[in-house]
Structure 1
Amino acid sequence: MSSQRLIIYKFSSLYHILEELSLDINFKIIYLDSENLLYEKIKNSNNYLIISNKKNLNFSNHIYLDNKPMNISKLVEKINIEFLKLHFNNQSHVKINDYTIDLNSREMMINNNKLKLTEKEINTVIYLIKKNESVSINELQKNVWSYQSDIETHTVETHIYRLRKKISITFNDNDFIVSKKNGYQIE
């Protein structure tokens, strides 16, 4: 069973229709008629959609359906598209210590403070965090810049210097990328 959950909130007729189709759909269907249960069900998750005929629900990932006749296959298609969007958005945010990096907008954020990053800066940060150890300049040249290691260049050092400066100015953080004797690391 998929980990995607469609929560049908106070819309029992829709629940019964989709329940009949449950073998042919790729998401779990849950019916709730209590707002408290709804909050409880979604509080530690982001892989859900709420569908209801209540217009002004203050929940993220909410789809409003009025009671007009609808084509059920179009509805299932719409739900699947919303799950795809949700999945894409969830994948686009990378958490690094107290920071969040939005890969789509290329922004680094903490609280309400944002810093715009270049694609190469994003790639550098992502590479460093995935390695979880000190990374040499030659390795960064090869894997982030696609340079051969025998070429004499200060591209990596220059980019790291500029990135650290941007982060220091914006977030007052001088320790995001640290220098080690054999390269750079995000701790």
Structure 2
Amino acid sequence: MRIALLEDEHEQAQNVQNILAERGHHCDSFPTGQSFLSAVLHRSYDLLILDWQIPDMTGIDVLESVRAQLNWPIPVIFLTQRDSESDIVRALDAGADDYLAKPPRAAELSARINALARRTNPDNEKEVLVYGPFEINTQQRSISLHGEELTLTDKDFDLTLFLFQNQGRLLTREMLLERVWGLARDINTRTVDTHMSRLRRRLGLNPENGFRIKTIYQRGYRLESMKALDNDELDRPLAANE
């Protein structure tokens, strides 16, 4: 998983990063609320870990900004020295999914992250996934539209499955290269653009079929369900790159 950590104490941040790295996660650490928010709102992360007391704002302020500005329910864990019942309740009421006291125990932190991942992506355990007129069989690695099986390459299937499992979420080109192609970040991202253009045509990802791939300028792509968009968005003509 790609995890963003808000922690202003270097030793604490290094400890959490080491725990996560040993379990195969990638963790970026940020010492201020502003630097954390800038990264989270412009990059793709699977989970957030927040400290409460940081120099420029509170962890609660950061959480509220994340919930107000991100359009998908990214899981959030508070990791802080504040462990009173009132603090825990306040954080959970503000939108946190879990709460741990510092210093974290490695096995417990890992288990809680895994539990949140399962809760956030329950479809990962299903064999057949249905999204409107699209049906994805994860065992047979096939996709059908209105009952007709589509002809796709293995990479097209992997990319389509990842898009549908993360619909509504900004997916950067770098993240797609890592998750779908298993490539390093410095690889040319035209590979992603080429596949996205092809998927739009092959899958019929258009308003008539209930979904569209939206290009987010200089950032990446987002698969959107037309039902989730408000009336103003539905009435707006799509730009050429959408």
Q: Same fold (TM over 0.5)?
A: no
TM-score, normalized by length of structure 2? 0.35
TM-score, normalized by length of structure 1? 0.44
